């Protein structure tokens, strides 16, 4: 199964952080969850208390999507009116009955999602652009498979390989050397490395080569999430670091509205 991870930055003027998280979880997420090929979908919302710390969070959220294979990413999108009906209550009223972005019998679900996306997330072309393009389509490799609990935090690191390394060379070292090294971090309960699959989506390559997703036992334990920077022959310096509080999600929409905050250096050019 393929997993896609994408970072999120809220639109700079349209909503407050709280309103952004609410709209993302209650409207945009359930809309995208109607994608027929989507097997699972989890949202991560930045913890509000993290913004008062230093360094500040690098992102306002992140999404994880699961698909059967890469072909599922390229599947044609159904018409909006074919996947959302009157029985869907608020979702139907907001997107279909109102014809918010156009006639539901003419617009596809993907076109509607993209129109909704533009007013929710920061898609401006202003520099710097790197933080707006954090995405990986990957296969998951389990490094530590310990038990997790709802009060744990999650850290998500995205990384790009150093110049001169092939994707195969990078992936092998990340999986066999850097991963086992990081697995020795104190307090680490669970770790999964996601190594990029070779895929182009809409003519654009993924923006990162890997993701390290880890959960550790205690919130506020920065020593357990600094493991991305120990092997400088592995990922490029300046990895994105995110902590996330686990929470229960909605089975009907495959959305888990929970929280994370950034800890670590902002990605640089």
Positions of the chain with pLDDT lower than 70, given as ranges: 54-56, 128-133, 153-157, 193-269
- 139-161 pLDDT tens trace: 788 888 888 777 776 666 677 78
pLDDT recorded at residue 199 = 37
**Which H or E run contains 203?**
none
**Nearest one of 193, 196, 172, 168 to 183, comparing CA atoms:** 193
Residue pointed to by tokens 């294979």:
69
Q: How far apart are CA 114 and CA 230, in angstroms?
A: 38
Answer whether 231's CB lies under 8 Å from 28's CB.
no
pLDDT recorded at residue 135 = 77
pLDDT recorded at residue 133 = 67
- 217-251 pLDDT tens trace: 444 444 444 333 334 334 333 333 333 333 333 32
Residue pointed to by tokens 């896609």:
4
pLDDT recorded at residue 47 = 78
For residue 248 the two structure tokens come to 């229960």
Residue 68 DSSP label: S
**Nearest one of 219, 218, 210, 205 to 192, comparing CA atoms:** 210
């Amino acid at each position: 199964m393929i997993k896609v991870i994408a970072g999120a930055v809220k639109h700079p003027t349209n909503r407050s952080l709280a309103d952004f998280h609410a709209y993302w979880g209650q409207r945009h997420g359930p809309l995208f969850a109607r994608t027929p090929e989507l097997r699972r979908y989890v949202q991560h919302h930045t913890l509000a208390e993290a913004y008062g710390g230093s360094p500040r969070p690098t992102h306002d959220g992140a999404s994880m999507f699961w698909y059967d294979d890469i072909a599922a990413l390229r599947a044609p999108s159904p018409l909006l009116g074919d996947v959302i009906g009157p029985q869907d209550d608020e979702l139907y009223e907001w997107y279909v009955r109102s014809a918010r972005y156009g006639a539901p019998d003419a617009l596809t679900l993907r076109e509607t999602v993209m129109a909704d996306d533009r007013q929710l997330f920061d898609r401006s072309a202003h520099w710097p652009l790197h933080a707006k393009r954090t995405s990986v389509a990957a296969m998951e490799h389990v490094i530590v498979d310990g038990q997790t609990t709802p009060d744990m935090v999650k850290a998500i690191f995205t990384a790009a390989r150093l110049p001169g390394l092939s994707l195969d060379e990078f992936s092998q070292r990340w999986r066999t050397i850097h991963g086992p090294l990081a697995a020795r971090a104190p307090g680490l309960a669970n770790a999964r490395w996601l190594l990029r699959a070779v895929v182009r989506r809409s003519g654009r390559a993924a923006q990162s080569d890997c993701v390290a997703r880890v959960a550790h036992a205690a919130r506020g334990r920065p020593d357990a999430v600094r493991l991305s920077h120990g092997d400088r022959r592995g990922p490029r310096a300046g990895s994105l670091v995110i902590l996330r509080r686990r929470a229960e999600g909605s089975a009907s929409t495959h959305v888990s509205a929970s929280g994370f905050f950034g800890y670590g250096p902002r990605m640089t050019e």
